[in-house]
Chain A
Amino acid sequence: MRHIQNELPEIGILDLRRLNEVVLKNYDTDLGIYAHTSLKRKISRFIADNSLKDVDNLIFTLKNDSSIFFRLMQSISVSCTEFFRDPSFWRILRDEIFPILNHAYQELCFWIPGCSTGEEVLSLAITLHEAGLYEKSKILTSDTNEELLTKSKDALYCSTKIDISEYNYKRFRADDINNLSDYVIYENGNYKFRKFLYENLQYGIFKGNDLEKKSSFLHGYPRIHMILCRNYFIYFTSTHQENLLHVFTNKLIPGGYLAIGNKENISFCENAGMYLIASESERIYRKK
C-alpha cells in the first residue's frame, strides 16, 4: 500500500536543473517539458517512496542503474484518473460526436497521446462498443516509453477503483441495466477488462521531445479523426503545450475533434485559431 504523504522533501530549482541535465544526457529525455510544481512533487514523492536520501542520491542512482529511470518516468507520467471521468463528456461523445463521425467515415481513428494507466482508453473502447462503432475504429494509445505501455497493455485494476468508476458509468448510461463490471473479469484476485476491448488498440511510443521525428508509429496513421487528451496539457509547460498542439493539429483531419480537460485552455496557443468550439462545457474542439 502506498503511503499518502503530504510532507515531502523540498526540491529546489537548482536540484531540478541538475537532475534534468543527467536525465537528458543519459536517457535522452527532457524533464524541462513538464509543469514545474507537479514535476517537483512527483520527484519528491519518488525519492521518498524509493527510500532515497535526496536529489543527489537519485542522480547517483540514475547514473548507475537504468531500471530506476523507467520507474521515475512511470511516476511522472501516471495521473490519477477514473473510468468515465466527467460522465457528461462521454454522453456528448456518444450522442453528438459519434453520429457525425459515423455518418462521415467508413473507418475511424482515435488517438490518446498519454494513455497512462489506460482508464481513458478503455472508457473510449466501451463507449465505441456500445455505440456499435468499435468494429470500424482503431484507437492509438501512446506513452513515453515501452515500460509504461506494457503496463497499460495488461491493465489490471483493483476493486476500489472499479467501485468509483461504476458510479461514473451509471451516470453516463443513466439506466440501471448495464454495469461497468459487466466488462470486467476477476482473475487471480485482480480485475481485468474483457479481451475484446483491447483488440482494436494500437500501441506506440510518443516521446516528449522531438515529437514528430521520434513518433514513427504515427506515420502509419495519417488520418486521425479525434484526439482525446483530457488533463494531459496540465502536466506540461505552456511552451511544450504549444508544441504538442502543433503536432495534434497536423495529425487531425479537417473536421476532426480535439478533447481537452474541462479546466484546460488552448486559447493562448498559436494554433488555437485552427479550431472551432464543438462543446463549450466539455471542451471539445473541431479542427477547421
Chain B
Amino acid sequence: MEKLKHNGYKIILIGGSAGSFQVTGNILSKLPLNFSIPIVLVLHRLKHVRHGFVEALLQKSKLPVIEPLDKETIKQGKVYLAPANYHLYIEINGRFALSTEEAVNHSRPAIDLTFATGSYCYQHKTIGIILSGANKDGATGLKKVKDRGGLTIVQNPSEAQIPVMPLAAIEKSQNVDHILSSEEITEMLLLLHKKASGKK
C-alpha cells in the first residue's frame, strides 16, 4: 500500500517522446480490457501526420485507444491519445479541452500542459508517468503532480532509449516516488487496477 499511497486514483497520465512509443505499446499490451482507470497518453508526434498513431497502438492494446474530441467526457476503460497539433487539457468537469495555443517546449501537444491541468482537476488522485524522450517537456508537469500529492513515476534513465526526459523529470521533482523499468511500470499499473477494482 505504501508503494501506491492510496487506492483512489482517478487518472493515469503518461508522457513521452523519442523512444517512448515501443514502451507505451508494451505497457498497453499487458493491461486488461476492463482496466479501471482512464489513461491519457501525451506522446510527441509529427504534427503534420494525423493518422496512423492510434492504429499502431491498437495493434498492441486490448483497451480501446482513441484521440479525444474537444469537450469529450473522460471515461474508464479507455486510453486517450493527445491528437497531433493540439494541446490536450483536462477540465474541472471531467472533460477534455483542446487548444491551438502556441507550442510549449517546442511541443504541441505539450506534456507539461496535460499534466498541469490533469493534476489540477484530480489533485492527489493523479498518477504521472514520464518515459523516454529527447527533451525536457514533462518535467514541470510531473512536478505539479508531485506538489499536488499525486503519484509520480519515471522510467529508469538507464533503461530509456533516450534518457533526457526521464533525467529532467527526476531532477525537477527531486524526489519522484518511483524510478522503474517499463516492466515494473506495467506491474505497478496492474497492481493499481487490482486494488481499484477490489475496492468496489
Chain A positions near chain B (C-beta within 8 angstroms) = 4, 6-7, 35-38, 41-42, 79-81, 85-86, 167-168, 171, 231, 233-235, 238, 241, 261-265, 268
Contact = CB atoms under 8 A, between A and B. Distances in A.
Given A4-B102, A6-B110, A36-B92, A265 B97 contact: no
B91 A263 contact: no
Interface of B: 48, 50, 67-72, 83, 85-86, 89-92, 97-105, 110, 112-113, 117, 140
For the residues of A in contact with B, the DSSP-based class is loop
A219 B159 CA distance: 64
A212 to B, nearest CB: 23
A264 B69 contact: yes
Given A35-B97, A37-B89, A265-B69, A6 B112 contact: yes
A36 B102 contact: no
Contacts of A238: 71
A167 B97 CA distance: 28
Contact of A265 (B71, B89, B103, B110): B71
B100 A81 contact: yes
Given A36-B97, A234-B97, 7 more contacts: A4-B102, A35-B97, A81-B100, A86-B50, A171-B48, A261-B98, A262-B83
A79 B99 CA distance: 8
A261 B67 CA distance: 14
A268 B93 CA distance: 16
Name, among A6, A167, A265, the residue most crowded by chain B CB atoms within 10 Å (CB to CB). Answer: A6
Given A36-B91, A234-B97, A263 B67 contact: yes
A261 B70 contact: yes
B86 A80 contact: no
A80 B101 CA distance: 5
A37 B48 contact: no
A262 B71 contact: no
Contacts of A36: 91-92, 97
